[in-house]
Structure 1
């Protein structure tokens, strides 16, 4: 007769927990990558804005976009618990 494996709740729990941890780590990695890309985009926008004339419309618009992007990046970081908490 062939032996049958019996359901082991502790083993199933451990496997589920390990799978959840791998998924969470993957999500954190993806979030870090997205944050880095957004930060780089904000920095490039800010640099481009500084290259324009002091009072130009493009500079003002670029600075607004850079600030909004940085705010969004900070919000994502704080939501994910990877940003600095401001007091």
Structure 2
């Protein structure tokens, strides 16, 4: 009977160790997932900001080109004189 109690105690200790290890692994995985989500969110915001800047710059370039075209047409037609 003592051997059975000893074996049962060892099995319980191993089960508790396994549970603790599983908890630690789950916590570490959750921490990594949280960090990855934060990094992804930061990267998405940075990409959004860069895209907005690019579109702003492109819009300014198109506006400048359009004004240049208007000025060229006015000059060609002699309408640029005040």
Scaled by the length of structure 1, what TM-score is found? 0.53
> Could you tell me which residue of structure 1 aligns to residue 39 of structure 2?
23
Which has the higher Rg, Structure 1 or Structure 2? 2
1:39 aligns with 2:55: yes
Q: CA RMSD in A?
A: 1.6
- Structure 2 residue runs without a partner (length 5+): 1-19, 73-82
- Structure 1 residue runs without a partner (length 5+): 1-5, 57-87
Q: Which one scores higher on RCO, CA 8 angstroms, separation ≥ 6?
A: 1
Number of positions where the alignment pairs a residue of Structure 1 with one of Structure 2: 50
Which of 56, 65, 68 lines up with 1:52 in the alignment? Answer: 68
> Could you tell me which residue of structure 1 aligns to residue 26 of structure 2?
10
Off by >3 Å, runs of 4+ in structure 1: none
